[in-house]
Each structure stands twice: as C-alpha cells, then as structure tokens.
Chains A and B, each alone.
Chain A
Amino acid sequence: MNVDWRLGTKLRNRLELLRYRVLGTEIDKGILFKLVVYFILINVAFIYLKPILYMMTTMVKDAKNILDPSVIWVPRTIYTGHLKEASEMLHYGKSFLISVSLASSVSALQVFSCAIAGYAFARLDFPLKKLWGALLLFTFIMPPQVTILPTIMLFKQFGWMNTFLPMVVPALFGHGLKGAMFVIIYRSFYSTLPKELDEAARIDGAGSFRMFFKVMFPISRSATVVVLLFAFVWNWNDFYFPSLFMFTADNVPLSITLARMAGEMAQAAGAGEITVYAESIKMAASFLIIMPLLVVYLVMQRWFIEGVERSGLVE
C-alpha cells in the first residue's frame, strides 16, 4: 500500500516534469514551442537558401549532368568550365576591379557625408532646419525617375557621361543612391545620444568640428557598419544609374556587363543557337557577381547584426 502510494507520487512527479519539459513553465520555454519555432525558421531559411543552392549546383554541372534526369541537386562531377566562360563573357577581371572601386568609393563617401549631414540634423542648429528636414524626407520618398532626365542632361553638360562622376559626385554631398535614407539613419542614431556629451565637450572647449571628428564619428561605429554595408551592397548591385549614365562606356561595372551578357545570350538564342549550357553559364555569372558580396557580408555580419541591434537604426 505504502509502496504503491509512493510509486504513484513518483509517477505523477515524472509526468509533471515531462509536462514542464515539453510545454515549459511558460509557453516560450517548452520543447514543443521551440520545435515549432525551429520548424518555421528552417522552412523560411530554406526559401532563402534554395535559389543560392540552385545557383551553385547548376553552375558546376556539365552536359552529362544537365541531361541526366536523376541529377537534380547534387551533380556527379564538378565542372568549372561554365565559371571560366562566364568570367570571360563578363570581362570579370576588369569589371570586378571597376565594381569594387566604384562601390567602395561611393559607399565610403556616402558614409562620411551622410554622417555629417545626419549629425547636423540631429544635434546642430542652423537656419530653416524644419524646412530642410522636410525636404530630407521628401528626397527619401521621391523616386529617382522623376529627376533622372534633367540629371542626365545636366551631366551631359558637364561632360560626365560615360565616367564614374555621376555616381561619385552626388555621394560626396550626401546624396546618390538612397543617400537620404542614410542621412535619416545617422540622424536617428545621433539623436539617441545623451545631451551631456555635447555639453561636456563644449565645456572642454571643443568646437563642433573637433567634437564631430574626435567623439561623434568614432562612437557611431554601429550605425556606420549598417550604412556602409547597405551602401556598398546597393551600389554594387545598382543597375539603373550606371545603365543610364554610362551605357556606351567601355569600362563598366559588373551589373552592366551582366545585362550585356544576358542580351547577347538572348540574341544567340533568338538566332536559333540553343544550348543546354545557357542556364549554367547564367548561374555561374550570377554567382561571380554575388560572391564578393557574400564574402563582404560574412566578414561584416557580426558587427552588422550588432549594429542593427544597437544603432537606433530606427529612432
């Protein structure tokens, strides 16, 4: 009897424990909840990864693997010929250097000029501040298509067509591709900092310039990482501006050579040259363009995610 009772409690305790393990003391602590979360996350992650996996497996398939219906994901042999061909068609060496220098110079300029403007908007006083603030929002909302034609005419007047200046010079002044958004990011970052920071520096006799370069810019590292990554990636990927400002140029970034290559291939297909390789070559080209970004992202991701959490990316 006694033993029986003891066994019953033990069992009940076990069951209780099991319930706690599975459902948790609170819902979001239990195994069941975690399983559901993992299930959803893995599924969505798969959606994001699938095109990339597809790209990487397709580009290493040779003719035998492409035609073999039993090969879907994992090719039997790895063939690098498509990569070579794609890199030739893209003029990879030259265009890569151009893309790197263009994207990094524009993003560096944007980080710097947008930080200055954002700092001024957040912490300094100047005439008509409200008006300029409204115009900043306006710039953010305005699609580039509204101003693109006069901008082309303006740059033609300057003789800047087919050079990199149309992308670089606006960046110097805190504009350029999505410049308004970067100014807004910096503005919201700087407005979260405590007021005492300025006051202390002012008492120490530092002017706004020294204040900015010695204190403000260095401590805005988390916002800078976010802006730098965005600016680099978007400028690297951008097709619209280079296509209008330098389509007839010889030295063009990768986004343009990719478009040219796609055009050439479509023409070849239209002329009746049907090849099983087209797909693989396209994927190889896509991979060649994405890979540098992936490397940059994987190197920067730690600071980037930290930056997103800390930067008051939003106010």
Chain B
Amino acid sequence: MRRLEARTLRRLEGSLFIAPWVFGFLTFVAFPLGYSLFMSFHQVKIEVNKTEYAYIGFKHYREILVANGSLLYEELIPFLKQSLMMIPIILVFSLFVAILLNLKFPGRTLFRVIFFLPVIFSSGQIVQEFITQGEGSLSMMQSLRIDYYLREYMPAAWASPIENVLSSFVLVLWYSGVQILIFLAGRQTLPASVYEASRIDGSNPWNTFWTITLPGLVPYIFLNLMYTVVDLFTFPSNPIISKVNTTNYGSSSALAWIYFLIILTFVMLTLLLYRRVDKALSGR
C-alpha cells in the first residue's frame, strides 16, 4: 500500500515537472498543427472581424500537386536534389574536422575556437550577405572551368544542382558547425582504453579509424544526418519557406503540409536505415 502511494506520488511529481512543457506543446504546437491541417482543406477568407471557411476538400492539394505544380516540381525538386548532395559533404567534412580537432597538438584550442565560429554566423542574415558577396564560391571553380565540364558530361537534370552545390561549397562548410560539435562530443564517448589496446596490438591509425572510431560514431552519424535534414529544410535559401505566407491561408497550409510530409519521409528513411545499420553492427 505504501509502495503504491510512493509511486503515485512520484508520478504526480513527474507530471508537475512536465506540465509546463505539455501545456506549451498543446498550445504552441498541437493546436496550430491541427488548425493548419483544418485550413488546408478550406477556402479561408479573412475579413475585418471574422474569418470564413468554406470546405473544399483536397482542392488545394490537387492544385499544388497536379494542376499548378511549377512551385513543387521546378523549385522544390532541384532544392531537394541539391540537399541530397550537400548532406554527405557536410557529414564527411564535419567528421573529418572533428577527428582532426580531437587530436592533441599545440594550438588546438585556437583552432577549436575558429571552427565553432560557424555556429554563430550560420543562423543569421550575415551568411545571406556573404552569399551575395560571392564569398560562398571556390575560386578554383572558375579557374579549372569545372562548370563547363559538368554541363558537358552530366545529365541536365543533375548538372545544375551539382553546380549549385559546388558554387556554394564554402557555404556548405559554413553549415557544418553544429555537426562538428556533435561529432566532437560523440568522439569523447569512445573510451581511451580501446585506443590504447589497439595501439599496443600494433594497429595503425588508419585501421583504428575504420575499425574503432567509425563504428563507434555510427549513432552520431545518424544523429547528424537527422539534424542536417531538419536544418536544410529550414535553410534560408529554401524556396518553400517564403511561399508559406499570409496571402492565402488555405493553400499555404496545404503547401506546408505537403512539405512536412516530405521531411517526415526523409527522417523516417533515416531512422529505418539506422535500425538496419545498428542491427548489422550489433549482430557482428
């Protein structure tokens, strides 16, 4: 009897702790979410002191997906292709830098301070400013005429996204600040004793990386993958973001939902892949 009481008391305490978050979730997430779903099926007319809704079913969705697909297919799809290529670059680069920053060498703190700078800049208007200055591109691109070869040898549907990625390559590096952080933090969780053991066994750093570091970092790779997907979808250069505006509540909501479903698919795929990889690794 007393035990049960103690347990209920604990649950009550726990509920009190989580209550503000749950309240916030219901007001600022769940309610707007439901409401935007509701609006996406309606023609919304806003007048001075009242709002009218007329049910129109899937009309907004049909318009975006079928009738007037230019926004989705001509702007979003190239953006998605571009993101697909940016994700591996960001992941590989940030993993590489995190491993380098984890080594012990004089001046490490200075380099760490510099390499975390993107965390400060990349969320702001400033990066936009840099893009317009052309700071995002590599000067190597023009001098080697890579864009020319790309157009020559790649199918047109992929040439322009690749060109976009390459021309904003430096920018891609700018967006890997948080990912470097996550990898660096993840690297700390791998015990030093394992590295010592492999060193005593005569394994060279190259092998150590592939057999110890990389498998140990798999969870963080996926965490980063998820973060990068989420981050890219709220990228300032994302064509959808500016299209969700107050000119047409109904169709904007429908657009936002279509967009959200695409993101969910991506994230679900990531999670599924993670399950697979995790199983394969632990089964070994």
Contact = CB atoms under 8 A, between A and B. Distances in A.
Contacts of B148: none
Nearest to B99: A37
Given A126-B15, A286-B129, A308 B109 contact: no
Contact of B234 (A49, A144, A152): A144
Interface residues of B, number: 84
Interface stretch (B59-67, B79-87, B154-162, B177-185): B177-185
Given A286-B126, A293-B120, A45 B115 contact: yes
Nearest to A42: B111
Given A47-B173, A48-B115, A120-B17, A142 B11 contact: no
Given A132-B22, A142-B29, A173-B24, 4 more contacts: A34-B105, A45-B115, A141-B226, A208-B14
Contact of A27 (B24, B119, B204): B204
A234 B114 CA distance: 18
A143 B260 contact: yes
Given A304-B116, A309-B188, A41 B111 contact: yes
B263 interface: yes
Contacts of A144: 234
Interface of A: 26-28, 34, 37-38, 40-41, 44-45, 47-52, 54, 113, 116-117, 119-121, 124-127, 129, 132, 135, 139-154, 170, 172-175, 179, 183, 207-209, 212, 229-230, 233-234, 236-240, 255, 258-259, 282-283, 286, 289-290, 293-294, 297-298, 301, 304-305, 308-314
A175 B206 contact: no
Contacts of B230: 140-141, 143
A145 B15 contact: no
B126 A289 contact: yes
Interface string B1-45: 000000100110111011011111101110111011001000000
Contacts, number: 237
B119 A175 contact: no
A304 B114 CA distance: 13
A314 B221 CA distance: 11
Contacts of B228: none
11 contacts: A48-B174, A51-B130, A139-B29, A145-B259, A174-B24, A175-B28, A239-B125, A240-B241, A290-B121, A301-B116, A305-B109
A311 B97 CA distance: 20
A44 B97 contact: yes
A124 B14 contact: yes
A175 B244 contact: no
B215 interface: no
Main secondary structure of the interface of B (DSSP, over half): helix
B86 to A, nearest CB: 16
A229 to B, nearest CB: 8
A146 B36 contact: yes
Nearest to B181: A308
A149 B124 contact: no
B167 interface: no
B120 A311 contact: no
